[in-house]
Structure 1
Amino acid sequence: MPDHSSLSLVIPAKDEQDNIGTLLTEAFTVMRDYSGFEVVIVDDGSLDQTLETARRTATAHGGRLIAIRHDQSIGQSGALATGVRQARGRWIVTMDGDGQNDPADIPALLQRANRMQVEDFCIAGYRRNRKDSFWKRFQSRLANRVRDAFLHDGVPDTGCGLKLFPRATFLKLPWFDHAHRFIPALVRGLGGDIAVVEVNHRPRTAGISKYNAWNRTWAGIVDMIGVMWLLRRTRVPRIVGTAGNTGKHPMTEQA
């Protein structure tokens, strides 16, 4: 694959005014020497100053920012889809807005992506040393084991918000609520490749999580059944050869 020409960091965020400034400061600092870098913030119906804080931070660092606000919350997957559609980069990096993902890991994702040999792929982050409560880590391990047993996506931590994929790949995927947790499986359904990169994980320092046992695990089982159905119904042809065109219509070609 040729090298990427531009990169968009897409961050869905809701009520993260106390985290988003620090996160963007880190992102613009890490990527300051990369001219094709932009950040897309999607404020998913926040009731605080998340978007205003993001704008002030981008101005202070001279960074390129696309700022989008939903009039009401539609969830992380919907916000992510809005951001990717508005992004201008050829490649997309996604990241949670709570500051637990580390922008310092972006270069490692880029290095791995540059070695991919296919058009459709996903580089998935793996939070080996998670900085969450025991109960939250237990829920995540259970969900990941159940998902991998049925979908065989080969990703140990699909809930990690830090991922990289071509924008064109994302736009081919079917989309639904909670789809962001199934991006690797859906990319595999396209015939694409998956790679896993171990990434840093940090404790949340402000705000509250938007997920609980219901919407993280049990609702995920319903979504997984839907993804299994989608994958079983998906047919990706394997192209084994092409034929050139002589430029003459077969009905008018002279003997």
Structure 2
Amino acid sequence: MNYQFTIIVPVYNEEDNLLRVEKELLAYTQIATKTTKILFVNDGSKDKSQALIEAICSRHDAFDYILFKENRGLSAAIKAGFDYTTTELVGYIDSDLQTAPEDFNLLLAHIGEFDLVTGVRSNRKDSFVKNMSSKIANGIRRAFTKDGMDDTGCPLKVIKTDYAKRIPMFKGLHRFLPAMIMLQNGTTKQITVQHFPRVAGEAKFGVWNRLLGPLMDCFAYLWMKKKYINYEVAKKK
């Protein structure tokens, strides 16, 4: 099949969620506005996630996977997904499914005129502490990057693949994807999407790595912005 869109699904110890991921993403491929394939990136899970992933991929041609030798973190998983994507568009969704796959169609509706479209979670179904720490972290990041984004932690994004492959990823930079597209003179848009409570598994981020991590990463971003190489070819033979 001539696929147009790849959804990256980072996985780390999510055995309790994967059958639901299979069901919901398979259903989405039937209603997607672009022909869609799924790419699991197993970030060195220690549970039964890999066995489940391999079983899922054996059942469906549109499902593939990458397995890391060891846990390398969310940014590395997203970066690997970008590297192995061959479609013109790429997106990602967390394997906890706190966002809805069908909302990808809302983002895809705008990707023609923008280079990245990201979700903004409405009526977040998280704890007060988690919501407040995310709000503070987003405020800090927005002050540094001036990217105008309200919710860069939303795990629902669509990006033109040629832009995604040029992002110089490092640990923590998944929070800065809109800003990194803007460094390439790309355009961004945010769209309100649904949000749901986690129903299985455990959250991988706590209060401290939602606050201290983004603050330190802001300084890394400022260094990146100062050193970033960006060019356009005017003519070639």
TM-score using structure 1 length: 0.85
* Same amino acid, percent of matched pairs: 28
Measure the CA separation in 1 of the matches of 2:61 and 2:27: 9
Measure the CA separation in 1 of the matches of 2:184 and 2:236: 26
In the alignment, which residue of structure 2 is the partner of 1:196? 190
Question: CA 1:17–1:5 in 2, change beyond 3 Å: closer, same or farther?
Answer: closer
Structure 1 residue 115 displacement after superposition: 3.4
* Structure 2 letter corresponding to 1:223: D
In the alignment, which residue of structure 1 is the partner of 2:54? 55
Contact 1:123–1:197 (8 Å) recurs in 2: yes
- 1:151 is the counterpart of 2:145: yes
**Matched position secondary structure for 1:18:** coil
Measure the CA separation in 1 of the matches of 2:205 and 2:119: 19
* Structure 2 letter corresponding to 1:32: Q
Deviations 1:142-200 (A, max 9, x none): 00111111211111000111111012111111110011110001110111001001111
Unmatched 5+ residue regions in structure 1? Answer: 246-255
Indicate which of 222, 226, 249 corresponds to 2:220: 226
Contact 1:17–1:49 (8 Å) recurs in 2: yes
Deviations 1:34-59 (A, max 9, x none): 57321100111111122322333344
Measure the CA separation in 2 of the matches of 1:204 and 1:244: 51
Structure 1 residue 89 displacement after superposition: 1.6
Q: Give the number of the structure whose alpha-carbon radius of gyration is greater.
A: 1
After superposition, residues 1-255 of structure 1 pair within 5 angstroms as 6-32=4-30, 36-60=35-59, 62-116=60-114, 121-234=115-228, 236=230
Unmatched 5+ residue regions in structure 2? Answer: none
Structure 1 residue 230 displacement after superposition: 1.4
**Matched position secondary structure for 2:97:** coil
**Matched position secondary structure for 2:30:** coil
Structure 1 residue 233 displacement after superposition: 3.1
Measure the CA separation in 2 of the matches of 1:93 and 1:24: 16
Contact 2:93–2:156 (8 Å) recurs in 1: yes
**Matched position secondary structure for 1:125:** strand
Contact 2:129–2:207 (8 Å) recurs in 1: no
Instruction: Please tell me the root mean square deviation across aligned C-alpha atoms, in Å.
Output: 2.1
